[in-house]
A and B are shown apart, each in its own frame.
Chain A
């Protein structure tokens, strides 16, 4: 409701520029996720605890303990309304939390350390998880006692001429490292250790399309809120954005899916590799934290040019997240485990302090405009 009174200049600013806060809970934060409304920030620690920060007060709203102590929380995923949160850990478990009272709605052991787990966007009792050296799992948590786990394929869909001569040997060590739902939940997009992207239908659990990006493992894939843009971080030091067809359209046939790389972002000079990547709220920007470096790089997607380097903390940054609708960025420090927040500065508009004050340009000749200058002086002495 503060929109009508907000300075339009500030509304036009869409990239954060200054470090505004540091958050700290007990434990070293390693993963982050904003709630869909953007009022809460969930953080998982290396010790297995989860802290929910209230971004209005920058205080801890809730602490969640349930994962095996000492095992890193790997991923967090919010349900739309912000009531439920899914966490996964290398202790094999995924836990669905009810934040109303902090209780555990479901605790499911998936039988292997979890890389990443994500809730179905429309149904918080369904999730997909990528497991360490195992097939990814689509889990139905509807039954409180017996969750149903469906294994998903690891292997890409290949044209006959792409098949290796000895497929069994070639696919022996081919595993999925990351999995994500499309915004409608109709498809799951996975990335593999051999640089393949697979699009899997949620209903048939069959791979409908595949694309090989590189030969190195894929580290992270993220979708924009529209579901039409894909962001892929691979260990070949290149971040790629890919345009997706409208997968929620039921008329789309698998043959029509053509995945093309739109942009490749990389640091050619320093050969930096990227810890973690994220889209901005409307996917106009791409952001990445760098290995062995203290900065966050922000590129715009129109031309693929670097527009901003966020500085501040004197340590390497791990997970980075962009607020769902504000120019506001959160990142974890790799050494301290603190959470750093970047935002925009909002200077006080002096004209708001009294109805008859008006903003004066900095270069107004004060001698000619003496009465105005006196007003400003009076105003400033009030405020101080």
Chain B
């Protein structure tokens, strides 16, 4: 784990960010700092504003109030080319209009370094990125013919090929099997160890607990708590935020977040308990 004492300058800083669509206030006065070298998980119930906050941090959405700074420089107003050399974004839903091959899509991520001295590394970085995302064997395949999970890994390889210091991941694990979920988040940890700042939206709280340095709990567009998984992921707070009783278990040093299932027949209950404990077994 990263030590917090070194305290590098924040890679991303959101201050007093508010955003509304029509009458609906999506974000209210959100403050968030993300430092180089740490993974911050954004969690919260549906409609909490996680994806919107990520869009604001990515520069896709301009907040109604507040500022976002990227390495100390205000984000809005920077040119797309400049932003692309500082932060990479993995969207929840990937689309591809034509039948590009896997390698071509990964190269698209690398294209941000065109006409830069770093372009000499293109081949190497592209190969490594495909290796890490476990898509090397698919390099010549046409992307729309791949499964959803494989496409998500191609997008992840594209993000790695961009080779920048700030990663914004919107539910990167949603379409993935357990092996690749763990692989993607381990890679996020590795990137952080090498100095990247990683913000990741997660629904699986046990994954958030296992892989993040800090967790930011959003609810109703507001930050309810920010801190280490141990500080923030408590049964009390989560039960309140998710409006459902949640239990947090400590299994050999790993936090497991489990919804309490009441009024379920005992046979079904035991089956479900097994299911929710699956991640432990792997």
Instruction: Say if A and B assemble together.
Output: no
